[in-house]
Amino acid sequence: MTSLSVNAEKCTACRACELTCSFVKEGVFAPYRSRIRIVRLHGFNVPIVCVNCAQAPCIEVCPTGAVYRDRAVPVVRINEAECIGCWECVRACPFGAADWDDDQDVAIMCDLCGGEPACVASCIYGALSFEPEAAAVRHKRRATAEAIAAYPEQSRRAGAAGYLG
C-alpha cells in the first residue's frame, strides 16, 4: 500500500500544494478550498492532510454513511450527495484534516486524487511524497538515525529513547 508522507523540515510554506489541490478539485486557485493545509507551528510549516486512519473516526460518526472507505485506492472518501452537513466527520478527525467547504456546504478531505496526488507533483521542495509505506518507514528510520548521529554525546548520555522523546 502507498501513502502520502510529509517531511515538515522541507516545507517552505510556498503553498503550491494548496493551490494545486484547490485547482484540481474545485477549478479555482483558492487555498481555503484545498484538502491539504499548511499550518505554521514553532518555526515549522506542517502540511496537514488526511492520513486515512485504519479505524477512521470520521467514518464511524457519519450518520448517513456519506463518509466511507474506498477499498480500490484505498482512501477515505465523502459522497457529497449523501452529506447532510452535520460536521460530525470534521469534528471527529484527530488530525484536523477533514474540513468544510462553505461554498458547497459539504465536508471535504483528501482522496489522494485517485492514487496520483497532485500536491506531491507540485511540491518542488520534496516535503510531500507518495510512496509505499515500507519505504516511508525506512526514510523515517534513516532520519531518526541521522538525528541521533548528529548529537552522539547527548545520545549516549540520554540513551536513544531519551534523546528522541
For 61-100, letters b (16+ CB in 10 Å) and e give: bbeeebbbeeeebebbbbeeeebeeeebbbebbeeebbbe
What structural domains and CATH numbers belong to the chain?
2-130 (3.30.70.20)
Does an H or E element contain 94, and which?
Answer: none
Per-residue pLDDT of the chain (165 residues; tens, 9 = 90+): 678 889 888 999 999 999 999 999 999 999 999 999 999 988 889 999 998 898 999 999 999 999 999 988 788 999 999 999 999 999 999 999 999 999 999 999 999 998 899 999 999 999 999 876 666 677 667 777 777 788 766 655 555 555 444
Digit-coded pLDDT (tens) for 86-106: 999 999 999 999 999 999 999
Please report the pLDDT score of residue 151 as a whole number: 76
For residues 52 and 68, the answer to whether their CB atoms sit within 8 Å is: no
